[in-house]
Amino acid sequence: MRDAEAVTFGTSGLDRAAEIRGDADALARARAEGRILPMWRGKPMLDARDQLAYVPDGHAILEDASADMLFLGRSDGVPYFAANLTGWSPEVDEAAMSAFFDPTEQAHPSAPDARFAELRGVMTRLSRRDAELAATAKALQNWHDTHGHCARCGAKTTMRMAGWQRDCASCGAKHFPRTDPVVIMLITRGNALLVGRSPGWPEGMYSLLAGFVEPGETLENAVRREVFEEAGVPVGPVAYLSSQPWPFPASLMFGCKGEALADEITVDPNELDDARWLTREEVAEVFAGTHALVRPPRKGAIAEFLMSAWLADRLD
């Protein structure tokens, strides 16, 4: 797929600068001259234009940040970090924040013209570089928030390597950020495309079928297994198309295409509420927002990227 890396969160050529992650002096210099992205409960700070809002070292908002910052890399020679505001507790609507999509926004008193917002709501408006930085920061911070104890002995671990490692002083184990491989499948049968909806999704929301790759499994076999398990549709030839980091919370989506060997659908109700074939004409209606049942796919997600490419006949 020629434009495979044009997907949201696709590579922007960020210099990850791994060589200075373990160099305290180099990191101190980088922090003094770099730009810092404040994060709160996984949300990046945004300005009035829906762009990432960075602050310099020493900004008042960083008084509420944890001492350890995440080093994200360099862009055009400028170092970038992310800071987690663990010392700030604004009043929030917890029920709204726990919904399928968090619509709430929060403003810190030290940056009243900026606000913290759900990344999925603005990801398509970010530059490619800022999208990669935000995705990296969110995925890394989530890993630290959920992996504070050693998986081997249970003792508390300590952040190392500027956020790219956690060490256990008790048993000596070293832990590294987790990324879960997921296949997402553009399954076709002639002029039709297979879509489904998961339990709990908003009304009218359908997408391509997807599932986690299991240990000892190839991407191709994961595609065939997941489609058959969820929809009862056997799949023949499978090919890779594109990938997308998806930091919600920590996946790498492998976009693949596959050819169905049969039309009949048998839904596993534990996996899907519904699955159906949509003709190319119906998919055009979906994207136009005129389909009677299916709403347009989420902008920025790899499912929308693949479906629009199939609709435009530009998968190759």
pLDDT in tens, 75-95: 999 999 999 999 999 999 999
- CA distances to 138, 159, 161, 206, 214 from 177, rounded to whole Å, are 12, 11, 11, 30, 18
Domains and their CATH numbers in the chain: 4-146 (no CATH), 147-178 (no CATH), 180-311 (3.90.79.10)
- Other Cβ atoms less than 10 A from the Cβ of 203: the count is 7
Rounded Cα distance between 225 and 229, Å, is 6
pLDDT attached to residue 1: 83
pLDDT surpasses 90 at 57: yes
pLDDT digit string (tens) for 188-214? 999 999 999 999 899 999 999 999 999
Q: Which contacts of 15-19 are long-range, i.e. CB under 8 A and separated by 24 or more positions?
A: 15/73, 15/74, 15/75, 16/72, 16/73, 17/71, 17/73, 17/74, 17/79, 18/164
- The C-alpha atoms of residue 244 and residue 204 are separated, in whole angstroms, by 24
237-282 tens-digit pLDDT: 999 999 999 999 999 999 999 999 999 999 999 999 999 999 999 9
